[in-house]
Amino acid sequence: MSILSGTSNWPTVVAATRCFKFEEEARSIAGSVWRDHMQTQAWGPDLGKLGKPIVVYCLHGHNVSQLAVARLRAQGFDARHLEGGIDAYEELGGLVLKQRGPEVPLLLPQPTRWISSGRPGIDGLGFAWLVRRFIDPLAEFHFVEAEWVADIAAEMGAIAFDVEGADYGCHGANCERGSVDALLESFAITDPALQYLARIISGAESSQLELEPQSAGLLAILAGLSSLQDDDLAMLEQAMLIYDALFAWCRHVSHQSHSPASERVAS
């Protein structure tokens, strides 16, 4: 299952660990959400809308996750438990979050909310992609005028990002440490492919194109996307595929040499 991590094919993964144990462990599979295993009837509205198979895990894959799966199947969901639980997943090299960032609650039986200024840039779009793929696949994003971000965040219980003064914001004169860097650091994510992607994003956001050769391409593609799309949420959905592809390149393709098309045809 870990090979699907960070892609649109990742299933809906749910931690059903008992709440006291989940708080004690403070450990979760990246890209999963927590839900009460005794309240599966309340899972449907959020989890069902993704239209994906549901994979439920607990610590060891025993009674807690299997109870939740039995109830979900009785409700008509395509659900299964993760054999061996989070322990086995981590042993096999799957990405596990062992630390939570500021303002992001550990036990929240509903989607997290995030807010930033309108017309999100390279770093802001990358941040939203990272949240959706590795922190909360159900996350809600809102974009408003910059001057109202803090007020609206407080009123709706949202987490501000990619704005001045936010924990998840740019730091340095040229945004040397952006919101993506802040998120990776706060969740202690050291995955090499994500760190590589963060450098590409940083180079594109700060126009320091010498950081990584791919920064120039990302800058050009997202500048073009911004010129085509004036709806922030629609632009985010389109940017998700771009970041999916770039992450896949960082993870699986970056080490391969690239030959011209004529050489590939000849071979």
Six-digit token string for 39: 């309240």
Q: Rg of the chain's alpha carbons, rounded to an integer?
A: 19
121 and 145 assigned to the same domain? yes
Domain that holds residue 70: 2-97
Residue 65: inside a domain: yes
H helical segments located in 58-167: 63-74, 85-91, 122-130, 149-156
How far is it, in rounded angstroms, from Cα 18 to Cα 30?
Answer: 18
Would the pTM count as exceeding 0.85? Answer: yes
Same structural domain, 58 and 132 = no
Going residue by residue through the chain, which has 267 residues, state the pLDDT in tens, using 9 for 90 and above: 889 999 999 999 999 998 888 888 878 999 999 999 999 998 877 787 778 999 999 999 999 999 999 999 999 999 999 999 999 999 999 999 988 887 887 777 789 999 999 999 999 999 999 999 999 999 999 999 999 999 999 999 999 999 988 889 876 666 667 899 999 999 999 999 999 999 999 999 988 899 899 999 999 999 999 999 999 999 999 999 999 999 999 998 877 665 554 444 444
* C-alpha pair distances (Å), 89 with each of 43, 134, 140: 23, 15, 27
Domains contained in the chain, number:
2
Residue 72 belongs to domain with CATH number? 3.40.250.10
**98-119 exposure pattern, b = at least 16 Cβ within 10 A, e = fewer:** eebbebbeeeeeeebebbbbee
Whether residue 103 is contained in a domain is answered as no
